[in-house]
Amino acid sequence: MGFPATRMRRLRRTPALRGLVRETQLRAADFVLPLFVEEGLATPTPIDAMPGVARQPLAGAVEEAIEAQALGISGVLLFGIPREKDEQGSGAWDDDGIVQQATRAIHEACPGLIVITDLCLCEYTSHGHCGLLDEDGSVRNDATLELLARAAVSQARAGADLIAPSDMMDGRVGAIREALDEDGFEETPIMAYSAKFASAFYGPFREAADSSPAHGDRRGYQMDPANAREALRETLLDIDEGADLVMVKPALPYLDVVARLREATGLPLAAYNVSGEYAMVKAAALAGWLDERSAVLETLTAIRRAGADIVITYHAKDAARWLQET
């Protein structure tokens, strides 16, 4: 029935009524907090392009994890910055590497907190690309798979609850799954960065992780921002290779992709609210152009509404505090 018998505003009249019929719920347990852990660092180093975020020494990463767990956040996603880099990115599979150290330390300090380890070589290679290079500077896909598999096993040995390959090499989920199974880690799940786009919104992250390519770019292996059908193909291939969870990165410019993948698969789906998205909100809030709390909670709700089960976000701690106040 139409107006006046039907009045849509009836259920918007009070906060209690709005809460009763709210379709999308936002909880701290939906969040994963990314952490940058730097080997040899003495004190936290603020990241200029990401106000409120810093590179952390090992002890600082543990403190961040303790705080996140106390706020009800489900897990942390670790990115490592090694003391030294080389052409192969060998620090990625060092059993005493910074991510491996952080994984063990956080597990000891925060029983029950999920520790997810990002798996890529870009933070460990001297050239900043995500794999081994040919003489012409292009990334060698198949040769890189072996190194990713070695790094995955090292992270699993350190106690990673989830391995999260973000490199976008073809076949890497299958190679990692096989290596984990052969080493006795058949119970360790893989969260694949399945639809990772070659995005302009990664700029602040590359400052944070010291991972900018020394030459060229990553468009030869990360996805073209124009392609949504290809994102579905990538995701289904990762599922066929053994992915347990899948991800879309970035989140906000690709909410249509999040929605498509939600409809196409029953797997748990993550979306990464990336550094550039975070920096834009922070910059606008610092300039007084919008209310940070309202903008952040609306943004995270939109990502959940599009279909993401898990939201990886640098806003996680602030959002968790604000949700406690509502």
249 is catalytic: yes
Enumerate helices (H) and strands (E) in the chain, giving the number of each: 11, 10
Tokens in use for 205? 């992250």
What are residue 223's phi and psi, to 5 degrees?
A: -80, 150
The CA–CA distances, whole Å, from 216 to 130, 136, 139, 168, 229 equal 12, 11, 11, 16, 26
Of 91, 226, 93, the C-alpha closest to 152 is: 93
Return the biggest CA–CA distance within the chain. Answer: 73
317 is catalytic: no
The catalytic position among 85, 196, 282, 317 is: 196
Distance CA 105, CA 75 (A): 14
- Non-local (6+) Cβ contacts of 299 within 8 A are 252, 273, 277, 281, 315
The catalytic position among 85, 249, 282, 317 is: 249
**Residue 122 half-sphere exposure, CB side, CA atoms within 13 Å?**
27
Distance CA 225, CA 210 (A): 23
Distance CA 160, CA 113 (A): 11
**Catalytic residues, which ones?**
196, 249
